[in-house]
Each structure stands twice: as C-alpha cells, then as structure tokens.
Amino acid sequence: MIAIGCDHAGVELKDEVINFLREKNIEVTDCGIKSGEKCDYPDMAEKVCGMITSGEAEKGILICGTGIGMSMAANKIKGIRAAVCTEHFSAKYTRLHNDANVLCMGARVVGPGLALELADIFVSTEFEGGRHQRRVDLISKLEEK
Ligand code: RB5
C-alpha cells in the first residue's frame, strides 16, 4: 500500500497521482488534505511516514510546493529515506541504490505529466540490494548518532 499526502500547495497534484495509481490497481491511502483545506507540511510528513514506520504502508508519496519541505521533515523520522525527484533518473536510482521509501515532489516544480511518470517509476522499481544494502545500513546507523 502507498500512503500519500500533501499540503495546500499539492492538493490537485496529489489527487491526480492517487487516480493514476488506483487506475493501475495499486492500493493507495489518501492521508489528506482536500481542496480548500490548509496543512503544514511537517504534520503531513509525520502522518504519511508514520504509516510506513508502523508497517501499514510500504512506501509514501508527499507533495508540497517544492517537495523540499516535505523531504526535510520526512528525513527527520527514523526509518524514512525520502527523496525529492524532479526527473526520471533520480526517481529510478533512489529506489535502486538508496531504497528510498518516500518520494517527494513539488507541485510548483513538476507538471502533472512528469509527476505521474515519477510516481510510476518510484512504485515499480525494486531496490537492487547487494553493495547498496551496506550503504543504506550506514544511513540507518546515522540515526543513532
Ligand atoms: C507552502 O506555501 C510551501 O511553503 C510548501 O508547500 C513547500 O513548498 C515547502 O517546502
């Protein structure tokens, strides 16, 4: 299951991403918000990431104006590896090499066409493991410092 959330800057894009994933028969939980509502991005990052750390969701997608605020907040949470992506290569390799579990996108940065492709790559690309696992483990160790 993919948990997805946004702040007020990302509502329309969030809804498009949800429709796109559901059309692909991917299970999605909409953590909010609805059009017209306001939300501080750290609160939504906490909500979506909480679903990942609890095991309810496998991955998350967070959308704000730039994607940056969401990623800063998400990466404060133990067990979360969030990546802001604005092009295909990063979306692919942050899964292959970093085992990113959260994709952050900026609704004021990427158009809907690109955003849907980034979401598609993110949900369908498997972590390569191998030598990359050791590096991901080193990231986890940093959480203890
Ligand atoms: C909200 O106006 C905006 O600051 C937020 O969506 C995001 O871009 C922060 O990183």
pLDDT-derived band at 24, boundaries 50, 70, 90: very high
Could you list the active site residues? Answer: 64, 97
| Residue-level pLDDT at 25 | 98
Strands 102-106 and 2-6: unpaired
pLDDT in tens, 56-99: 999 999 999 999 999 999 999 999 999 999 999 999 999 999 99
Contact, 52 vs 59, CB < 8 A? yes
| Residue-level pLDDT at 34 | 98
| Residue-level pLDDT at 69 | 98
Read off the pLDDT of each residue in 10-39 and give the average, rounded to a whole number.
98
Predicted model pTM: 0.98
pLDDT-derived band at 2, boundaries 50, 70, 90: very high
Best residue for ligand 1 mutational test, from 70, 71, 72, 108 (most atoms within 8 Å of Cβ) = 70
pLDDT in tens, 119-134: 999 999 999 999 999 9
User: What are the start-end ranges of the H helices in the chain?
Assistant: 11-23, 41-53, 68-74, 88-96, 112-124, 131-142
Ligand 1 within 6 A of CB of 5? no
